[in-house]
A and B are shown apart, each in its own frame.
Chain A
């Protein structure tokens, strides 16, 4: 009997660091061609989960597969994925174009195709005029764009994006959201970690909320809000706040107003996007013309990034 293949699948996935449990028996399935919105407060285990799924970290227990390959098979996983971590992996000493050429070559993309793809993506993200400047002179948003293009340049089947709109201006962020939507239209799978709930609400087919290593709820945004409607409200934010509320066993935090010099963080576990520096960088990868099964032959036109946008997202 053969196991049904999903874009991402985990079974009882667990990661411990010493006595700390970062991921606790995670079971999830992500279908091909969908956007999975991965939510959770700071320190919930989202980044650890993404690192396991991208084969960067070994799980302590349980199993995980990406594009049918076990995460222990790094070579196979690497070939299927694109990853934009929290901090865009770019080299300050290179220009934007050199950076993309470098990673394109490491991905074994033929030179002519690589040039076309780079030019197209630079145009799409409005980076063409700055492509030959050193990345050290880029703004945070420009670095984010380069990191994003780098993640999707080789047309991976599964994209892991950690806060892809972080640092982007509204127009660039809109482009990223459009690209993600187009990617999934073409069969790519996007595993999207973000704190910006409106992004998830707009894009995600399925939302999973991780809290203290547990997947505390999962479903489509509509399902989740419907479940909560009777007692909490109708937005995904309400759902998030409800399922990530402080657990009874956890000691209560002091009031942020009290006059002490303690090291406690009044923002921790609040569920609000209070800490923009931690755990919050969704990445997106857009290449709608690629074939998620890898069997489609590219034409010259295929190298162009998508240019259409969803009217309903405007």
Chain B
């Protein structure tokens, strides 16, 4: 047995497990096939671009070309580090059955196996495409000598970049495990990071973030990778730097491996910070509702209700409690916010809010309100389903309870956001009022619409919503059907209140814009209430008569 035997065995098994997991998931296979088709065109374009670049380099002045190649090398290395860091943080450094593995092999073998897994996985892809691009570049440049040097550079970028990403991710995770502050605010940090990342994408501001990192690395041997890549081109690459970067890469990898060993031991054998969760209040009666810190206002509204029965209030209380304690398990409901991204960015860039943004706010709010709790009434009960079904009138309490939960939580926010953005837009106040009514009705009724769809297409198995959290979320099909239904119901409101269509309708019919808006609101309300009533009736009957097979 050599020192690589165990890491190789771990890598082989990890790759086998990942392949089987993917193979057994048709949705993942379809996504992979789609990605392959999309990326194949990118790769083809990249290879063609490499050929063109080779020809360009062959006919260019030496001085700027070598600088371009050094710059490209630095940015390429940053990309691999970022990718390796992401993979390490999200996937690779969270092995299943950690205790079993650590009582069988050393943490050194384990982390080496995990890094080897990632190297094998991504090298296979990058080196295949990289080799093709390298050959194309060499042909374009008319220099066969370029091929070995560029390939060697690619290998060095991978074997130094991926471990560096791992080291950074281990550093971040160690900090998270040891810092009480980071541990408590983990969700907040992740949300802020996600918002920042999203903002970078929509504002196209990646360059402003990468520029300081590039400036930091440009004077370091990372840029010498460019000299190694360009050694066969005769464009002024420094042989000394090229040789130096190979030697330094060896030393760097040795240092990175030592750091990986140390940091992985710190992480995997850490006790972790001890965060004590607060105790729930226990005052009986409607206290389950009243005891929800942060939802006290909502709870009080529910608690004072003479309409809602005690079982329904129990469902509402539990929904709100689960939402507060594990918001990440409801992250699926944030997808509708994507439709807000474009209009929001446009508003920020333009410095003013158009007539469209309030409508997008309204639609996405109503969309979220229904999907949050009501789109998987049966499935989200999880292990409690048998007990729930044996309770008194489960159809009524579950269905109504989940509808009320989503409405209580999201409808006020939707109405306020719609009205505020409406008032800041060119819409008149009466039209904004009409929009507000629409927001209230749709956000309140979308949950009712969701219930019937959810019981028709339930999902009972938990899925990973983050690496460390599993949750039972609505099925993709239910979500798609529900999205279409909500869009259809909201369509009259959207058309009637939109700048172009609403104006055209008003002109065509010879009536006031407000009348068109009100007509749209009333139509949507009728649709929503009708669809909601039918859907809820189906859901109540289905839940009441549900049998576990």
Chain A interface (Cβ within 8 Å of chain B)? 17-18, 20, 51, 54-58, 74-75, 78, 81-83, 85, 89-91, 93-94, 98, 102-103, 105-108, 134, 147, 150, 259-264
9 shortest interchain CB distances as A-B pairs: A89-B100, A262-B282, A89-B97, A18-B274, A93-B17, A83-B103, A93-B20, A17-B274, A260-B284
Decide: A20 and B20 in contact? CB cutoff 8 A: no
> Which of B17, B99, B288 gathers most chain A CB within 10 Å?
B99
What's the nearest-Cβ distance from chain B to residue A224, in Å? 30
Decide: A93 and B16 in contact? CB cutoff 8 A: yes
With contacts A56-B103, A81-B103, A83-B103 known, is A261 near B271, CB below 8 A? no
Residues of B contacting A106 in the complex (Cβ-Cβ under 8 angstroms) = 6, 9-10, 101, 104-105, 109
Decide: B271 and A57 in contact? CB cutoff 8 A: yes
Give CA–CA (A105, B105) in the complex, Å: 10
Give CA–CA (A59, B1) in the complex, Å: 32
Decide: A93 and B21 in contact? CB cutoff 8 A: yes
Q: B466 contacts the other chain (Cβ, under 8 Å)?
A: no
Give CA–CA (A159, B16) in the complex, Å: 29
Known: A91-B97, A102-B9. 12 other contacts (CB 8 A): A56-B269, A74-B106, A78-B103, A78-B105, A82-B103, A89-B97, A89-B100, A90-B100, A102-B13, A260-B284, A261-B282, A264-B282
Q: B96 contacts the other chain (Cβ, under 8 Å)?
A: yes
Decide: B282 and A90 in contact? CB cutoff 8 A: no
> Which of A51, A54, A106, A262 gathers most chain B CB within 10 Å?
A106
- Chain B 250-277 interface mask (CB, 8 Å, partner A; 1/0): 0000000000000000000101011000
29 A-B contact pairs sorted by A residue (CB < 8 Å):
A17-B271, A20-B274, A51-B99, A54-B99, A57-B269, A57-B271, A74-B106, A74-B107, A82-B103, A83-B103, A89-B97, A91-B97, A93-B20, A93-B21, A94-B16, A102-B13, A105-B5, A106-B6, A106-B104, A106-B105, A108-B1, A108-B5, A261-B282, A261-B283, A261-B284, A261-B285, A261-B287, A263-B279, A263-B282
Decide: B13 and A56 in contact? CB cutoff 8 A: no
Q: B280 contacts the other chain (Cβ, under 8 Å)?
A: yes
Q: B32 contacts the other chain (Cβ, under 8 Å)?
A: no
Residues of A contacting B339 in the complex (Cβ-Cβ under 8 angstroms) = none
Decide: A105 and B9 in contact? CB cutoff 8 A: yes
Give CA–CA (A83, B102) in the complex, Å: 10
Contact of A56 among B21, B99, B105, B283 (CB under 8 A): B99
Contact of A91 among B5, B96, B274 (CB under 8 A): B96
Across chains A and B, the number of contacting residue pairs, with CB separation under 8 Å, is 86
What's the nearest-Cβ distance from chain A to residue B410, in Å? 26
Decide: A85 and B99 in contact? CB cutoff 8 A: yes
What's the nearest-Cβ distance from chain B to residue A21, in Å? 12
What's the nearest-Cβ distance from chain B to residue A27, in Å? 22
Give CA–CA (A134, B273) in the complex, Å: 36
Decide: B13 and A78 in contact? CB cutoff 8 A: no
With contacts A89-B97, A102-B13 known, is A56 near B288, CB below 8 A? no
Give CA–CA (A181, B289) in the complex, Å: 54
Give CA–CA (A259, B283) in the complex, Å: 10
With contacts A91-B97, A108-B1, A261-B282 known, is A56 near B10, CB below 8 A? no
> Which of B6, B99, B104, B109 gathers most chain A CB within 10 Å?
B104
Interface residues of B, count at CB 8 A: 34
Contact of A150 among B100, B102, B280, B285 (CB under 8 A): B100
What's the nearest-Cβ distance from chain A to residue B416, in Å? 32
Decide: B99 and A83 in contact? CB cutoff 8 A: yes
Residues of B contacting A89 in the complex (Cβ-Cβ under 8 angstroms) = 97, 99-101
Closest residue of B by beta carbon distance from A18: B274
Closest residue of B by beta carbon distance from A48: B271
Decide: A75 and B17 in contact? CB cutoff 8 A: no
With contacts A56-B269, A93-B17, A262-B282 known, is A78 near B9, CB below 8 A? no
Give CA–CA (A107, B109) in the complex, Å: 12
Residues of A contacting B285 in the complex (Cβ-Cβ under 8 angstroms) = 261
Decide: A58 and B282 in contact? CB cutoff 8 A: no
Residues of A contacting B13 in the complex (Cβ-Cβ under 8 angstroms) = 91, 94, 98, 102
Decide: A58 and B271 in contact? CB cutoff 8 A: yes
Closest residue of B by beta carbon distance from A82: B103
Give CA–CA (A17, B99) in the complex, Å: 19
Contact of A103 among B104, B106, B107, B283 (CB under 8 A): B104
Give CA–CA (A58, B271) in the complex, Å: 8
Residues of B contacting A261 in the complex (Cβ-Cβ under 8 angstroms) = 282-285, 287-288
Give CA–CA (A36, B1) in the complex, Å: 35
Contact of A58 among B101, B102, B269 (CB under 8 A): B269
Give CA–CA (A18, B283) in the complex, Å: 29
Closest residue of A by beta carbon distance from B107: A74
Residues of B contacting A103 in the complex (Cβ-Cβ under 8 angstroms) = 100, 104
Decide: B97 and A107 in contact? CB cutoff 8 A: no
In residues 522-541 of chain B, which contact A (Cβ within 8 Å)?
none
Give CA–CA (A162, B11) in the complex, Å: 29
What's the nearest-Cβ distance from chain A to residue B39, in Å? 25
Closest residue of A by beta carbon distance from B104: A106
What's the nearest-Cβ distance from chain A to residue B6, in Å? 6
Closest residue of A by beta carbon distance from B12: A102
What's the nearest-Cβ distance from chain B to residue A83, in Å? 4
Give CA–CA (A260, B269) in the complex, Å: 41
Decide: B106 and A78 in contact? CB cutoff 8 A: yes
Closest residue of A by beta carbon distance from B265: A74
Residues of B contacting A264 in the complex (Cβ-Cβ under 8 angstroms) = 282
Give CA–CA (A17, B97) in the complex, Å: 22
Residues of A contacting B269 in the complex (Cβ-Cβ under 8 angstroms) = 56-58
Give CA–CA (A75, B3) in the complex, Å: 14
Closest residue of B by beta carbon distance from A55: B103
In residues 274-308 of chain B, which contact A (Cβ within 8 Å)?
274, 279-280, 282-285, 287-288
Give CA–CA (A75, B102) in the complex, Å: 10
Residues of A contacting B109 in the complex (Cβ-Cβ under 8 angstroms) = 106
Contact of B100 among A85, A94, A134, A262 (CB under 8 A): A85
Give CA–CA (A262, B97) in the complex, Å: 35
Give CA–CA (A85, B104) in the complex, Å: 13
What's the nearest-Cβ distance from chain A to residue B248, in Å? 31
Give CA–CA (A131, B150) in the complex, Å: 47
- Chain B 89-123 interface mask (CB, 8 Å, partner A; 1/0): 00000001101111111110100000000000000
> Which of B9, B16, B103, B284 gathers most chain A CB within 10 Å?
B103
In residues 1-46 of chain B, which contact A (Cβ within 8 Å)?
1, 5-6, 9-10, 13, 16-17, 20-21
Residues of B contacting A259 in the complex (Cβ-Cβ under 8 angstroms) = 284
What's the nearest-Cβ distance from chain A to residue B272, in Å? 9
Give CA–CA (A58, B270) in the complex, Å: 8
> Which of A75, A91, A147 gathers most chain B CB within 10 Å?
A91
What's the nearest-Cβ distance from chain A to residue B110, in Å? 9
Residues of A contacting B106 in the complex (Cβ-Cβ under 8 angstroms) = 74-75, 78
